[in-house]
């Protein structure tokens, strides 16, 4: 079956990436989250690691965005930094391979990663932090750009989607994935309104540890402000 980007239009992609080392960080849980998301109406899945991509691929033929996360000592780039990561994801069954498209020190040039992704017959998705990342990625041949890394290249992690970046990338290409801090249905809808082709939701669906902490923090702040 040939994968068509157009099949993702206006769709919801669920990122099934458990907290590393957490109680749900195993193949059975990732597959369970993935199938539950598809049953709920997800158009596609975003899965980290070749092993988990392989496990999910064995359970469904629905589109998978695959990536590998590494903590390198020589580069801040974490998402699919190496050629061997591309090869592993392609062999595991990913339809789209996501890579860090930021303009930072890296072990492999982005152009080489894109070329390798496409040589395996897969689609390249550029995870961007700013619009210039997206512009460069498109010049180099990436088919899809995402707002995945907006705010994540600085010292403080973001808590809200970067709608301005989504809109700016839409002026460059129709194939814009809204990703990063989309935590409510209202935010997902807003992403479509500003030009997203499709929307990724992760922690709000598949990381109960994070969602629980959001509720706990809200309660604690209410108690503190009331003096209770």
**Whose CA is closest to 197, among 129, 136, 143, 141?**
143
Per cent of the chain over pLDDT 70 is: 99
**What is the predicted pLDDT for the residue at 154?**
84
φ/ψ of 23, rounded to 5, equals -70, -20
The Cα–Cα gap between 139 and 119 comes to: 17
**What is the predicted pLDDT for the residue at 157?**
86
Structure confidence by residue, pLDDT tens digits, 24-81 = 999 999 999 999 999 999 999 999 999 999 999 999 999 999 999 999 999 999 999 9
Confidence (pTM): 0.94
Structure confidence by residue, pLDDT tens digits, 159-190 = 999 999 999 999 999 999 999 999 999 999 99
**What is the predicted pLDDT for the residue at 1?**
45
Domain-wise residue ranges, the chain? 8-226
Domain 8-226 adopts which CATH fold?
Answer: TIM Barrel (3.20.20)
Sign of CA dihedral 44, 2, 128, 69: positive
Structure confidence by residue, pLDDT tens digits, 121-138 = 999 999 999 999 999 999
Which whole number is the average pLDDT over 205-221?
94
Q: Is the pLDDT of residue 194 over 70?
A: yes
Contact 192, 10 (CB under 8 A): yes
H/E segment holding residue 116: helix 110-119
Is 119 exposed, middle or buried, given 0-12, 13-18 or 19+ CB atoms closer than 10 A?
exposed
Per cent of the chain over pLDDT 90 is: 94
Is 215 exposed, middle or buried, given 0-12, 13-18 or 19+ CB atoms closer than 10 A?
exposed
Show Cβ contacts of residue 53 under 8 Å, excluding neighbours closer than 6 positions: 47, 64, 66, 89, 92, 93, 94
pLDDT-derived band at 207 (thresholds 50, 70, 90) equals very high
């Amino acid at each position: 079956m040939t994968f068509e980007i157009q099949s993702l239009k206006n769709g919801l992609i669920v990122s099934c990436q458990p907290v590393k080392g957490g109680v749900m960080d195993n193949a059975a849980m990732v597959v369970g989250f993935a199938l539950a998301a598809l049953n709920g109406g997800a158009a596609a899945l975003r899965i980290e690691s070749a092993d988990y991509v392989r496990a999910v691929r064995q359970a469904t033929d629905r589109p998978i965005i695959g990536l590998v996360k590494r903590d390198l000592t020589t580069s801040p780039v974490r998402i699919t930094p190496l050629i061997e990561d591309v090869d592993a994801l392609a062999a595991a069954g990913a339809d789209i391979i996501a890579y860090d498209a930021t303009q930072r020190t890296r072990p492999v040039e982005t152009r080489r990663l894109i070329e390798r992704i496409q040589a395996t017959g897969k689609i390249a998705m550029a995870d961007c932090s700013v619009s210039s990342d997206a512009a460069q990625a498109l010049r180099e041949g990436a088919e899809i750009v995402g707002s995945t890394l907006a705010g994540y290249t600085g010292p403080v992690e973001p808590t809200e989607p970067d709608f301005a970046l989504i809109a700016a990338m839409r002026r460059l290409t129709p194939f814009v994935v809204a990703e990063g801090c989309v935590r409510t249905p209202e935010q997902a809808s807003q992403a479509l309104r500003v030009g997203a082709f499709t929307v990724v939701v992760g922690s709000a669906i598949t990381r109960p540890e994070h969602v629980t902490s959001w509720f706990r923090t809200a309660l604690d702040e209410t108690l503190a402000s009331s003096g209770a």
